[in-house]
């Protein structure tokens, strides 16, 4: 189970940002290095922009991926956010 609260605004911590270089794959740059960001993970990271809560993020993802299993969207998103938070990438609360 994830302990990501549903009603807090999500945004990347200072010093963490998605980097888009034309012709290269996007990466999430963090103070000590970089993380790959592709596919749905990239979308989720991009949506942690300080404008939406976890609940709102899930709604957004459901509309972006209408054929995906909603329960799976929720559990996998929570898992990714937990991982990001534990690495200090997600500003939270």
Partner 1 sequence: MSHQLQAIIAEVTHRCPLHCVYCSNPLEMQRRDAELSTEDWTAVFSQAAAMGGLHLHLTGGEPLARADLTELVQAGRSAHLYVNLITSGVGLDERRLDALIGAGLDHIQLSFQDVEEGPANEFAGTRSHAVKLRIAKMIRQRRVAFTLNMVVHRRNLGRLAEMIAFAAETGAQRLEIAHVQYYGWALRNRDALLPSREQVRQSIAIVEAARARLKGRLRIDFVLPDYYAKYPKPCMSGWGHQQMLIDPAGRALPCHAAGVIPGLEFANVKEQSLRSIWEDSPAFNRFRGEGWMPEPCRTCDRRARDFGGCRCQAFLLSGDATATDPVCTLAPAHAMVEDVLRRVNRSSESENGEWVYRVDSK
Q: What whole-number distance in Å separates Cα of residue 59 and Cα of residue 7?
A: 13
Q: Which of 1, 3, 7, 14 binds partner 1 (CB under 8 A)?
A: 14
Stretch of 14-22, 38-46, 60-68, 73-81 lying at the interface with partner 1 (CB under 8 A): 14-22
Which residues share a beta bridge with 18? 28
Count of alpha carbons within 13 angstroms of residue 84, beta-carbon side? 30
| Touching partner 1, residues 34-93 (CB under 8 A) | 34, 88
Sheet holding 33-36, edge to edge: 17-19, 27-30, 33-36
Question: 């993020």: which residue's tokens?
Answer: 57
Q: Which of 2, 9, 18, 29 binds partner 1 (CB under 8 A)?
A: 29
Q: Which of 5, 6, 8, 15 binds partner 1 (CB under 8 A)?
A: 15
Residues that bind partner 1 (CB under 8 A): 13-17, 19-21, 24, 27, 29, 31, 33-34, 88
């Amino acid at each position: 189970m994830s302990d990501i609260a549903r009603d807090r605004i999500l945004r990347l911590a200072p010093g963490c940002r998605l980097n888009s270089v034309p012709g290269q794959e996007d990466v999430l740059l963090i103070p000590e290095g970089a993380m790959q960001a592709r596919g749905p993970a990239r979308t989720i990271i991009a949506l942690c922009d300080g404008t939406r809560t976890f609940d709102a993020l899930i709604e957004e993802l459901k509309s972006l991926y209408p054929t995906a299993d909603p329960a799976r969207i929720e559990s996998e998103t929570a898992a990714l956010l937990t991982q990001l938070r534990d690495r200090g990438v997600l500003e939270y609360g």
